[in-house]
Structure 1
Amino acid sequence: MTKDLLSLQRDETTLCEVYRRLAALEKDPARRQTLLRIMHDERRHCEVLKNNTGHDVAPDPKRVFWYVRMARMLGTAFVVRQIESCEKVTEKSYSLYPEREEFMHIASEEHRHGEVLMTLAGEIKLHYISSVVLGLNDALVEFTGALAGFTLALNDPRLVALTGGITGIAAALSMAASEYLATKSEKGPEKHPLRAAVCTGITYLMTVAILIIPYLLFSNALAALGVMLLAALTVIALFNYYYSVVRCESFRQHFVEMALLSFGIAGISFLIGYILKLFTGGMT
């Protein structure tokens, strides 16, 4: 029991620190006060657990860093949605001790926190999620198509990786520059042009790296193409899962749309590469 309570205490201490950091980042006074109230509740929960375990427990630095970094990059709502799930798990953990009145009281407060966070997330705009979506969508749609065309036209995995890497880096810089200019022209207070450009560029480059790796691991170009398409499908699934959680929208709809676009363009590019290969082969 003590071990379970220590784990629960660490979770509470971590969330307490996360709420404190999020409150410091939040510019809206009302939302900041909401986060601070929840932080004080979590701090009180930590004291109750400390009285039961007899130990001081430090927050998990990796989780705190992750939540704060995501809040800085994608906005507070992206993190609040994830913490809401943590609050539900914590509520269930306290409910395992129905004989402890103080734990039942904490469980009810955790339930209230989840409801407050759900409302809070709906009020907060995802400042940079559009920049991430732009980088990811463009990389998946454009780059899967380009790699599919390169695969059949060049038929050499290392050459495809080299050509794709050069193309991907140039495209990432171009997309970042376009996002910078577009955000700057909007002149809105919510998005900083340079940060938006970095989000778009880094997302594009990360996607490019994931899609190129199969061409460095396999000696057969078609095998590398198959693994690359599987990697693209995995990236689409993971992103759309988190996006649907944050936006409370249909996972299936976004997943199918992105998958059809990416694989449709890849199929067309593959066909173009095949035609060009036939044409150049006939010329020689």
Structure 2
Amino acid sequence: MAKENIKDKLLIFQKNEITEYEIYRKIAKSTKDENNKKVLEKIAQEELNHYNIWKSYTGIDVKPNKVKIVFYVFLSKILGLTFSLKLMEKGEERAQVNYKEVFDVIPEAQKIEEQEQEHEAELLSMIEEDKLNYIGSIVLGLNDALVELTGALAGLTFALQNGLLIASSGLITGIAASLSMAASEYLSQRAEGNENALKSAVYTGITYIITVFLLILPYLLIPKNYFLSLILTLIIAVIIILGFNFYISVAKDLPFKKRFLEMAGISFGVAGLTFFIGFLVRVTLGIEI
């Protein structure tokens, strides 16, 4: 490999290291949990050490990527420490492949790669986030809302053919179902001896209500075109399923494609069936609104 090419690669590695140093340092600074803070600071120091190793070969100071720093620090505040750092670690995995290209020239490259691989394990053992402890309750609320409400809205769309009436019916059904689901989760968790049963119920109920609101939103915005509203509702359902499963696949290291297709298949299967039932109800009962 040409000397110039090696130097270009080292400068890229160098920029990545100093950028990730700043990300870990800034997140550590705003982290209240002392254990999390110590591990983040340790990893930040490792990133700085790696930067200095690359610098000893290039002889050049490199500035961090400020956009990337702002993005990941902001992401950690919105979507949590686990998700944002694991998403960044996936970028490090790609960088480790590039390290292999300079193994023969830079002896320290292999050591750096080994240290980078330890980061993810450290992060997994370190992170204790409330929302991840209640992921089962969130899945329960989200999945039930998607399956039940997409199905109900599809059936109501053909049966009622009135946007505001469909939205009102969906909202009443959704709120009642969210309260019922939260109560069931509370009783289920209490029966299992969970001291945080109420918190689990709150996560389930809030997730359900938020999902309900997002799904009925098209009917409130364009009430006259109820079939277009149904299409938009189904698109929103896909986006919710896509976003949630991506989040879980990153934060919990679970397969994305299988979980996404399973949840989407169930939701759309129920929606299709209830749309057909709505058609039968309208034709059989002769409903005209």
TM-score by length of 1: 0.72
Which stretch shows the higher mean deviation, 243-252 or 270-279?
243-252
Does structure 2 retain, via aligned residues, the 8 Å contact 1:141–1:262?
A: yes
| Separation in structure 2 between the aligned mates of residue 69 and residue 282 of structure 1, nearest angstrom | 46
Which stretch shows the higher mean deviation, 8-17 or 118-127?
118-127
The one-letter code sitting in structure 1 at the alignment partner of 2:278 is G
Q: What's the offset of the Cα at 1:167? A: 2.2
The one-letter code sitting in structure 1 at the alignment partner of 2:22 is T
What residue number does 1:180 align with? 186
Among 110, 121, 125, the residue aligned to 2:124:
121
Does structure 2 retain, via aligned residues, the 8 Å contact 1:91–1:108?
A: no
Looking at CA atoms only, which structure, 1 or 2, has the larger radius of gyration? 2
What residue number does 1:233 align with? 238
What residue number does 2:158 align with? 152
**Where does the alignment leave 5 or more consecutive residues of structure 1 unmatched?**
none
What residue number does 2:273 align with? 268
Q: 1:182-207 deviations in whole A, cap 9, x for unaligned?
A: 33443447xx4344333322322222
Q: 1:31-63 deviations in whole A, cap 9, x for unaligned?
A: x76544213324556889999659899995664
| Separation in structure 2 between the aligned mates of residue 35 and residue 106 of structure 1, nearest angstrom | 22
- Structure 1 residues 239 and 111: CA distance shift in structure 2, 3 A: farther
The one-letter code sitting in structure 2 at the alignment partner of 1:214 is P
Establish whether residue 41 from structure 1 lines up as the match of residue 38 from structure 2.
no
| Separation in structure 2 between the aligned mates of residue 82 and residue 253 of structure 1, nearest angstrom | 19
| Separation in structure 1 between the aligned mates of residue 125 and residue 178 of structure 2, nearest angstrom | 31
Establish whether residue 13 from structure 1 lines up as the match of residue 3 from structure 2.
no
**Where does the alignment leave 5 or more consecutive residues of structure 2 unmatched?**
1-7
Q: 1:85-116 deviations in whole A, cap 9, x for unaligned?
A: 24346768999999x97xx9589546623443
Which stretch shows the higher mean deviation, 259-268 or 107-116?
107-116
| Separation in structure 2 between the aligned mates of residue 93 and residue 205 of structure 1, nearest angstrom | 46
| Separation in structure 2 between the aligned mates of residue 33 and residue 244 of structure 1, nearest angstrom | 26
% identical equivalent positions:
36
Q: What's the offset of the Cα at 1:122? A: 7.6
The one-letter code sitting in structure 1 at the alignment partner of 2:140 is L
Q: 1:227-261 deviations in whole A, cap 9, x for unaligned?
A: 21122122222322332334434323212221221
TM-score by length of 2: 0.71
Q: 1:170-221 deviations in whole A, cap 9, x for unaligned?
A: 32233333333433443447xx434433332232222222211222333321
What residue number does 1:257 align with? 262
What residue number does 1:133 align with? 139
- Structure 1 residues 174 and 194: CA distance shift in structure 2, 3 A: same
Which stretch shows the higher mean deviation, 242-251 or 224-233?
242-251
